[in-house]
Amino acid sequence: MYAFAPLHSAASAAASVVTWLADALVPLAGTAATAAAIVLFTVGVRLLISPLTLAQVRGERRRATLAPEVRELQRRYADDPTTLQSELFALYRRAGASPVAGCLPALLQAPFFLVMYRVFATGDGAPELLGQRLAGVPLGWHLGDGLTGGVPVVFGVLLAALLALAWWSSRRARRLAAATGTVGGAPANGPGAAVLGRLLPLLPFGTVLVALVVPLAAVLYLVTTTAWTALEQGVLRRPQPVAIDKR
C-alpha cells in the first residue's frame, strides 16, 4: 500500500509522537486530548523548522535589496537576454544573494509538511487517531460525510478561522508588494511579475478549499500551520525601514 517506505516510516514516527502527546494531555484536555496534541505537534514541528524559514526570508530580503540594480540591468540589456542573465548572475554572486537562495529552505521544509499532512489526512501510522473526537465529532469526519450533530459548529469555526487567516495573508501580500516594489522577492516589473502579483494574493485561499475535502484532523493541522505562517509573516516579513541619506 505504501510505495515509499521512508515516508511511511516518518509518518509512523510522527503519529507515535502525537499519540504520546494525546495520552499526556488527557488529564487536561479530556476527550479533546488528541485534537490538542495535533495542535501542539504542529507548533513543535514549525518551531523545529523555523531556522529554514528564517534562511528563506533572509534570501528574499537580499534579493529585494538588489531590485533597483536588477531593474537597471533589465533596462540596459533588454535586447540581449544572454548578457542579461550573465550580468544578473554576477550581481547576485557579488552580493551573496543567489536567485534560488529562498527556494532551497522551502524545498527542505516540504517533507515535514508532507509527513504531517499524511498523518492527519489518512491516519498513516496510527489510524486510531482519526477515530478520536473533538466536541463529539470524529477526527476522521469529512464535511461530505454529513452535517449532523456538532459538525456544522466545529467545521464552521475552523473554516471561518481559515478564511480570516487567508484574507489577512492576501491583504498583507498586496501591501507588502506595494511597499517594497517586489513580488515574491523579485522586482515588480520583472518577467511574469504581473501574473505573479495577481496569483500570490489568491494562494492563501487554496487552504480553505483543501479544508473542504480533508478530515477534521487535517483541518486542525491546516488552521494551526496557517496561523503559524501568518505569525511568521507578521514578524519576519515585515517591511524593513528605509535608510535615509542625511548628507
How do residues 120-157 score in pLDDT, each as one tens digit? Answer: 888 887 888 889 999 999 999 999 898 888 999 999 99
Residue 220 is predicted with a pLDDT of 94
More confident residue, 168 or 68: 168
Question: Quick check: 125 and 11 in contact, CB under 8 A?
Answer: yes
CA-nearest of 115, 209, 110 to 166 is: 209
Highest mean pLDDT among 70-84, 185-199, 217-231: 217-231
Return the C-alpha cell found at 118.
Answer: 499524511
Cβ of 140: how many Cβ atoms within 10 Å? 21
Q: How many Å apart are CA 136 and CA 138, to the nearest integer?
A: 7
Residue 101 is predicted with a pLDDT of 55
How do residues 1-36 score in pLDDT, each as one tens digit? Answer: 444 677 788 888 999 999 999 999 999 999 999 999
CA-nearest of 243, 226, 224, 242 to 234 is: 226
In terms of Cβ atoms closer than 10 Å to its own Cβ (0-12, 13-18, 19+), residue 74 is middle
How do residues 86-103 score in pLDDT, each as one tens digit? Answer: 887 787 777 666 655 556
More confident residue, 173 or 114: 114
More confident residue, 3 or 66: 66
Q: Is the pLDDT of residue 240 over 60?
A: no
More confident residue, 55 or 216: 216
Q: How many Å apart are CA 66 and CA 203, to the nearest integer?
A: 26
Q: How many Å apart are CA 245 and CA 247, to the nearest integer?
A: 6
Question: Quick check: 218 and 121 in contact, CB under 8 A?
Answer: yes
Query: 153: number of CA atoms within 13 Å, CB side?
Result: 6
Confidence band of 41 (pLDDT split at 50, 70, 90) = very high
Residue 87 is predicted with a pLDDT of 80
Rounded to an integer, the average pLDDT of 209-231 is 92
More confident residue, 66 or 50: 50
> Residue 217, Cα to own-chain centre: how many angstroms?
17
Domain boundaries, the chain: 5-236
How do residues 173-205 score in pLDDT, each as one tens digit? Answer: 777 666 555 555 555 455 555 555 567 778 888
Strands 182-183 and 186-187: antiparallel
**Residue 187: beta bridge partners?**
182
Helix (H, G, I), strand (E, B), or coil: what is residue 191? coil
